[in-house]
Amino acid sequence: MSSIEELITGTAVGIKASDGVVLAAEKRVAYGFTMFSRSGKKVFKVNDNIGIASIGILADMQVLTKIAKAYMSLYALDTKTRPSIRSAAKLLSYVLFANRVLPYFVEVLVGGVDDEGPHLFIMDSLGSLIEDDYAAVGTGTKLAIAILESNYKPSMTVKEARELAIKAINQSISRDPVSGDGIDILTITGNGSAEETIPLQPLRL
């Protein structure tokens, strides 16, 4: 059986800005050092104010996203209000912990904007939950987090956070053999969300 390290590959980052949240991930799908696809999607929109970025087994990411979408939609229909980012993060945390014996092989970032402002949460495959201003998960974490720590400012805008996320992912792609092939980005503000895909860019230090 493959080790967890061989299954939870790739790089994703999340950044909380003054006016929103940016989630980004590279597109390579690999198990161990075997590449299966150059067009994997690891950033998902849950609703207009909540998003998920994840690394690991693609099927597990997709299942967790479907669970989040279903429960957040039910919450909105029942209460006539949009769910908080914390409620979405706690839901996924419970799901991950409940399946700890046969775990989802993922690491997850949940971010978005609610009535309290922007929020970013980080989870491991067992559901441990931490809120932070910025984060990186996956095999390229050490490379990406160095860029985030050197350049992050709490006052930065979503536009600035987007550029920083691209720089951090590019840094991980440059050295991590199981990260690469482009970047998916989800930008969330109080006015809604926007998704985009950009091609692989040369590293700019």
What is the tens place of the pLDDT at every residue in 36-49?
Answer: 778 889 999 999 99
pLDDT value of position 39: 81
The arithmetic mean of pLDDT across residues 102-125, rounded, is 96
Element (H, E) at 37: strand 34-37
Does residue 40 sit in helix, strand or coil? coil
The arithmetic mean of pLDDT across residues 173-182, rounded, is 78
Q: Which residues are catalytically annotated?
A: 11
Q: What is the pTM of this model?
A: 0.91
Give the rounded percent of residues in the chain with a pLDDT score beyond 70. 94
Residue type at 175 in one-letter notation: R
pLDDT value of position 1: 39
**Whether residue 2 has pLDDT greater than 70:** no
- Between residues 75 and 38, which one has the greater pLDDT? 75
The arithmetic mean of pLDDT across residues 61-67, rounded, is 96
Are the C-beta atoms of residues 167 and 134 closer than 8 Å to each other? no
CATH 3.60.20.10 fits 4-198, yes or no: yes
- The two structure tokens encoding residue 204: 């700019």
